[in-house]
Structure 1
Amino acid sequence: MTAKASSFMPIVSKMYCSSSQVVLEVRRRPHVVYGGGFVVTDSSQKVLFRVDGCGILGRDGELVLRDSDGDSLLLIRRKEGIIEALNINKHWRGYAFNYEGSQKQAFTLREPNSYLMKNNPIKISTQPRGCGTHWDFQVKGSFQDRTCSIVDSLGNIIAEIGMKKEMRQMMTASRDLYHVIVQPGMDQAFVFGVIAVLDYIYDGTTRC
C-alpha cells in the first residue's frame, strides 16, 4: 500500500517535501578518491543532497547530510556510552539545523545488534523521547539487496529503494548505484538521513 499524502510531512524542512512523487538516484562515492559517502541527484543529474561520513569527517559514528550548496541539513550521531554498549539496540539520532544554525532533534533510529537483525526490524521515531515501544516508521526488506521500503506505522510506503534490472545483473555496480522513490508530501531530507544510517550499518561506505 502506498501512502497518499494530502499534505506535507516536514521532519527536517518543508522545503524538501514535494506535492508529487519523485524518483532520485543515489551514487556512492569511493573511499579512496572522495572519502566515502554518497550523492543524491534528480533526473537531470542535478545534485540535491550529499552525505559525508567518517572518510571525510574523520569521526566514526557520525554522518552529515548536506544540501546542494554544501550546507548542513542533518547531523546524525550514534549514541555511545557504557549503557548503550550493554543495550540490545543501538540508537542513532538525527539533528536538524535551522536557519540560525542551532540544532533540534529530528528523529531517533533503533539499530538492532547484528545477531538479532533479522528478527528485530529497524524502527524510527520522530518524537523527542526516541524509540521505545513507540515508532513512526520502520524499514522493511533488504537494504543490502537494494530492495526495501520505509513504511509508516499504518503500513503505508513513504519511500522505496530499488535498482534497475540491468544494474542488478552487474554485481560490482549494484551496491553503488540505485534509485529511491519518495511519495508525495514526504520529507526527502529525512528519507536520505535514514538511508545514510542504513548505508553505514550494512555497507560501510560512510565508515572509515
Structure 2
Amino acid sequence: MIFLSKSKSRTVHHYHDESGDDGEASTSLTVWTKSLVYSCSGFTVIGSDGGLAYRVDNYTGRPDQTILMDGSGNPIFTICRRKKPMFCVRKNNMRLRQTKVDDVVAYVYCGILENRCMYVVEGSFTHRSCKILDESRRVVAEIKKKEAMPKGASFGLEVFHLIIKPGFHCKFAMAIVLLLDQMYSY
C-alpha cells in the first residue's frame, strides 16, 4: 500500500493539445523514466510545447518518499509508505493468484480508512498500456506507448504518453503514474 500526501505547492503548469469528445482539450504529456540530473534516477515530464512540466529526482535508489515537483522544482505531492494520506493506492493482488478481475492493475482510495474506491487502473503498466477510470467507469487518463517515427529510433518502455481527459488533474494523474512505477518496477 502506497500513500499520496499533498506537499506545499505553488504553480503547476498544464499543457493542452488534444481535443476531447466534449470539445475541451485533453492534456498530453511525454513521460521519460530518466532524471535530467546526472547519476540520479527519476522522471522527466515534457508538455506538448516542449517545456518541462514535472520532474522527480531520486538520489537514493528506493527512498521512503518520492516527491513530484513542477518544472521549477516546487513540490506538489509526496509519495510515501506512511500515515495520514490524501489518497491510498493498492496493487491488485488477485492477478498474482491467477484470478482475472477485469484486468485491474490497482485501486485508488480516498484516505486510508475509507473503503470507497475512487479510481481503478486497468490494463498493463509494464507494457505502458493502461487506463485510469473513475467511479462511473469513465476514462479520465490513459498511459500509451510513444510510437517512433517511421524508420526512427524505438523509444521502448522508457518514454510514453500520459493523456489526461478534461476535468482530471494532471498532477494527480502523474502521481498515479509514479505509484504504478513503484509497484510494478521493483
The yes-or-no answer on 1:128 pairing with 2:111 is yes
Where do 5+ consecutive residues of structure 1 fail to align?
1-10, 80-92, 94-103
Answering whether residue 56 of structure 2 is matched by residue 73 of structure 1, we say: no
Matched, 1:190 2:172: yes
2:146 to 161, 164, 178: 164
CA distance in 2, matches of 1:148, 1:118: 19
The gaps in structure 2 that reach 5 residues or longer are: 1-5, 17-23
Post-superposition offset of 1:173: 3.3
Using the TM superposition, give the Cα deviation of residue 183 of structure 1 relative to its aligned residue in structure 2, in angstroms: 0.5
Code of the aligned partner of 2:71: S
1:39 aligns to 2:44 (yes or no): yes
| Rounded Cα–Cα distance in structure 2 between residues aligned with 1:69 and 1:35 | 17
Residue type of the partner of 1:161? I
Q: Deviations over 1:133-159 (max 9, x none)?
A: x10101010011111010101110000
CA RMSD of aligned residues (A): 3.4
How far the C-alpha of 1:119 sits from its partner, in A, is 4.2
Sequence identity, in percent?
26
The structure, 1 or 2, with the larger RCO (C-alpha pairs under 8 Å, 6+ apart) is: 1
| Greater share of residues in strand | 2
Q: Take 1:40 and 1:22, find their aligned partners in 2: how far apart are those partners?
A: 12
Structure that is richer in helix per residue:
1
**TM-score when normalising by structure 2:** 0.73
Aligned pairs, number = 166
Deviates more, 1:158-167 or 1:37-46: 158-167
Q: What is the CA distance between 1:201 and its match in structure 2?
A: 1.6
Residues 159 and 178 of structure 1: CA distance in aligned 2, closer, same or farther (over 3 Å)? same
Greater Cα offset, 18-27 or 37-46: 18-27
Matches of 1:115 and 1:171 in 2, distance apart? Answer: 34
